[in-house]
Amino acid sequence: MKRRFFSLVLSLIFASSVLAGMATQVNAREGVAYADRPFYQMDTTFHPEKDELTGHMVVTLPEKRTEPQNEVYFRLYPNAFQNWKHKVSKPEKPGYIRVFHVKVDGKSVEPDIKETVMKVQLPRPLQDGQSARIEMDFLLHLPRGGMRLNTFKNTAFLAQWYPMLAVRDQHGWHTEPYTTTGDPFYSVMSDFEVTFRLPEGYRVISTGNNKNQPAGSKITIKQDQVRDFAAVLTKDYRSVSGKYKDIQVNLWYMNGMEDVAKPLLEAAVSGMKFYSEKFGPYPYDEVDVVLGETGEGIAGMEYPGLVTSIPKIGTKKGIQPAVNVVVHELAHQWWYGVVGNNQAKEPWLDEGLTTFSEFLYMEEKMKEDERELLERASKKADEIHQTAGISSAQPLYDYPEPVYGLMVYIRPAAMLYELMDEIGKEKVLEILRTYYHRYQYKVATTRDFIRTANEVAGKDLTPFFQKWLYFKEA
């Protein structure tokens, strides 16, 4: 989720204006690569006075492949902040990442870097069953006022911050361009061992386990089987904590947010319990919720084991703790975190399921029924489709920003509510549970979701999904 500050009402207003204008188990590892996923080892040093982080990274490639591999692509997303090409969210100060001293199995190679994509040619083709060790040094210069990747006061938000392996699947390498609409990120499960060397007073909030961590020291965090590794390096935050079963839930807040810390922690613990019971168990031992709107897209984002949220939001009852944002982002731990998808190609698949999950929580736990609003949103989506030909199952690059939320978040949520009316709530939840268990740690597609729904329902629901996702009548 790029940002969910908009209310559904505002989303409808924005959409109207555009319409008018258009007319498995998580195991510990001991430095040995698993055959089917990459292993990242990073040793980094944070220099807050320069807004920089320097590091050395080693990536051990997985052994499994269907054909010989001659090259490797990495995503250098911080370079998007150097020469900003987008109409919104221009950083106050540019950011970038520089890569040096690249080696493959000890042999120096010269990478080919073009903006946010780096190609590394392998000295020899890798066959199935073979691995390679790619190492490099990098310098990350953090932007100020950027999206997701940002610095604010004594805090650095590290999102998509290191050279990330691009995904290679049956369609080839995925090096889609950066965009400010949606989340243009596609990643697969990897293992991480990340060391941060921090100045005095700083600590790490991260994808991994943050327990028993002294401030201002060398800190090493290990986390297996996650799609990405995000971190917040900070002197500004403090926390309150709770538990659901063996899951540690931490709520991080800054001065001035004390009044929402307790209710949002309670919502976070409640949300983790709710989704674990509805969809399947959360497979990690900790999750962090970090509050604070400190830049475009910072608050209201999901990462494995770590989410961000605004502290308060406007509601029908006035300004309230942002419970809906917290539980929305936590639902992404299931839909994106454990069950992955190509967010650039099929963004509805995680955002739609997550929005439905959020609405279900808010209905059952907060007694907020938004059925009427969902119906209005669906009618507005029909009008937009008739005028502009846009559906709910397209790549994110096809969407004008103002209709993205309506088509990708809200209409698919309305679709699942309609499906509950047709086949029953318990059957829809059984579909989601089956989908979760079948595709955990994998990358699923729209076709996979529909196939699962058909099997669980015991009948062909394809025409139903064709109507809601593609606006195709039977």
The crossing angle, in degrees rounded to 10, of helices 371-388 and 8-22 is 20
Phi, psi of 433 (to 5 degrees): -65, -45
Please pick, among 286, 329, 346, 418, the residue that the annotation labels catalytic: 329
Q: Are 70 and 161 in contact (CB under 8 A)?
A: no
| 437 annotated among ligand-binding-site residues | no
| 351 annotated among ligand-binding-site residues | yes
- 409 in active site: yes
The C-alpha atoms of residue 460 and residue 215 are separated, in whole angstroms, by 56
- 329 in active site: yes
Hey, CA dihedral for 119, 120, 123, 127, is it positive or negative? negative
Please pick, among 409, 417, 435, 436, the residue that the annotation labels catalytic: 409
Active site residues: 329, 409
Known binding residues are 328, 332, 351
Known binding residues for Zn(2+) are 328, 332, 351
